[in-house]
Amino acid sequence: KAACTQCHNTSRITEQHMTRQQWSDELEKMEGLGAVIPDADRNTFLNYLTRNFGPEKGAAPRTAGKQSGSAAN
């Protein structure tokens, strides 16, 4: 968290919902911009980000059925 929140507020991170590969790409991008992410911590970062802010955490669960015609009534 500290590596990210030096430049970003927490909502900048928590509002993202990306795959492990996308998070990895994002970490690489941030390193290119000056973030320091020790190699020994990289896997831990990716595990944390993917588990807590992965794609399945971002979408509200859909209920089967009523999707078409709901606005027509």
Most confident of 1-5, 24-28, 65-69: 24-28
Most confident of 2-6, 53-57, 67-71: 53-57
- What's the CA dihedral at 7, 44, 48, 8 to 10 degrees? 0
pLDDT higher than threshold 80 for residue 2: no
Confidence of residue 42 (pLDDT cuts 50, 70, 90): very high
Q: Is the pTM of this model over 0.85?
A: no
> To 5 degrees, how large is the angle CA 62–CA 45–CA 40?
155
7 SS3 class: coil
